[in-house]
Amino acid sequence: MRMKKIVPAFLLALLVLLPQAARSMSFEDERKLAREVVTSLDAQGLLVEDQEVAGPVKMLSEKLADHVRKPIYAFNVHVINDRTVNAFTIPDGHIFVNVGTLLFARDLDELAAVIGHEMAHAQLRHIPQAYEQQSQITAASILGVVLGALAASKNPQAGAALIFSSLGGGENFKLAYTRRHELDADDFGRKLLESSGYDETAMDRFLSRLGGITGGKNFPEYLLTHPTSTNRLSGLSPDAKKPRPDGYYWTLQAGVAGVLLPPEEGTQRAQAMPEPYRKLALAMIETNRGRSADALTLLAGVNLPLADTYRGINLALLGRKDEAYPLLKSYGGTARAQMALAEILEGRGEYGEAIRALLSYQKKDVKVDYRLGILYEKSKRQTLSHVSFARYFFKTGKRPAAVFHIDKALEAKQDLEPGMEDELKEMKEFMKKTETK
């Protein structure tokens, strides 16, 4: 339901922002386009920043990236809050993986296969190559591929039409893009999996299972944005390994069920998890429901770092701050845990320590940005307070307030940290260009 409202406005906004057709794409062109796309996705609330989910995905991605020979990008992997099975890459090494893909993968090898395949598209510069080789390919049409993937979540056929019409290069281009690029990415991805210690047959079983879930009537979105063929699937190894879910995989699944899914669905999915991950997922759900005592009961005896994080959170929520403090200091690896720690420190008047506790999560959590605005104000650091409030109001759609704080921060730009001036100007430019007439 949410995507039906978001996609049309998102499409309009980005078509306005992106540059017009060109014959080549430089690395600076890529960076500019990527910043605009990421800013737009962020403004729409589509990026998942919860560390319970984004953290394991980032860890896996960094392991893969360490084995890319002579990388030309610093890969950035984002999680999209969409339930379809899909993933895509855009210029400048930005990769997006849908929540639906996290749920569909049966182990980290399969998830690594998807992310490694996307890294291949980035490293091999498939989109910039298409941009350079076809005069019909514009920055807006590249964006159409991304939006087609999102639109396909509600209407696969319409999504496929949007994807291919966006490319606009005719049948020869479509075949070149799907066959050559996909096969090159397959080969690159398999080698990357092997060098990284993952199962090189994982993509085969992922695609094979995905291709069979609809009986061939409606293609899953991943197969629409990454068109497969008989040739690709004919390479299935007869001795392909079975999925091998480990603790990292189940921690990720518990995080998705615990913080992203509706409580009823999260509870149902948790029941299929092995212990102690079932209890961990249920405890996170109870935390979100405001039932801290029940969450602590579930966490009793669960020996996992994330369990200690949630013990600290729930003890703080129950007012048992002396017990919560050491847990939050040692295991505060999520924005929610650091918010609880910052609240304890703020209550002690330790504003500087409270700010330091939150810095890793600025720009990733709107509640963190708001709290930092207050803490900077209490610390007499007014310019940085305006920056944090600007981020908060920008992400929550309160444009007049966002513009006010942006302008106030820019008045004292000598006090801004590196990169902040450009960030503020980009936010203001985005709001100006997407303002409803």
Number of domains making up the chain: 2
* Domain termination residue (choose one: 181, 199, 233): 233
Give, for 39, the enclosing helix (H) or strand (E): helix 27-43
pLDDT tens per residue, range 76-105? 999 999 888 888 888 899 999 999 999 999
Please tell me the predicted confidence (pLDDT) of residue 125.
85
Looking at the structure, tell me whether residues 375 and 228 fall in a common domain.
no
- Give the 3-state secondary structure percentages of the chain, helix then strand then coil, rounded to 5: 70, 5, 30
pLDDT over threshold 70, residue 161: no
* Domain termination residue (choose one: 200, 233, 266): 233
Q: Give a yes or no: residue 251 inside a domain.
A: no
Please tell me the predicted confidence (pLDDT) of residue 141.
53
Q: Give a yes or no: residue 418 inside a domain.
A: yes
pLDDT over threshold 80, residue 292: yes
Please tell me the predicted confidence (pLDDT) of residue 434.
76
pLDDT over threshold 90, residue 165: no
Domain that residue 394 falls in: 366-437
Q: Give a yes or no: residue 14 inside a domain.
A: yes
Q: Give a yes or no: residue 377 inside a domain.
A: yes
**pTM given for the model:** 0.84
Q: What is the largest CA-CA distance in the chain?
A: 67
Outline where DSSP puts E strands in 28-131: 47-48, 76-80, 87-90, 94-98
Q: Which of 80-94, 301-315, 351-365 has the lowest mean pLDDT?
A: 80-94
Q: Give a yes or no: residue 266 inside a domain.
A: no
Omega within 30 of 0 (cis) for the link into 243: no
Percent of the chain at pLDDT exceeding 70: 76
> CA 75, CA 253: separation in Å to the nearest integer?
23
Q: Is 22 exposed, middle or buried (0-12, 13-18, 19+ CB in 10 A)?
A: middle
Q: Give a yes or no: residue 192 inside a domain.
A: yes
Q: Give a yes or no: residue 272 inside a domain.
A: no
Give the CA-trace dihedral at 137, 140, 145, 146, to 10 degrees: 150
pLDDT tens per residue, range 137-157? 444 555 555 555 565 555 544
* Domain termination residue (choose one: 187, 217, 233): 233
Q: What is the side-by-side strand order in the sheet with 87-90?
A: 47-48, 76-80, 94-98, 87-90
Looking at the structure, tell me whether residues 228 and 372 fall in a common domain.
no
pLDDT over threshold 80, residue 23: no
Q: Give a yes or no: residue 308 inside a domain.
A: no
- Calculate mean pLDDT across residues 359-372: 96
Bridge partners of residue 76, in order along the sequence? 94
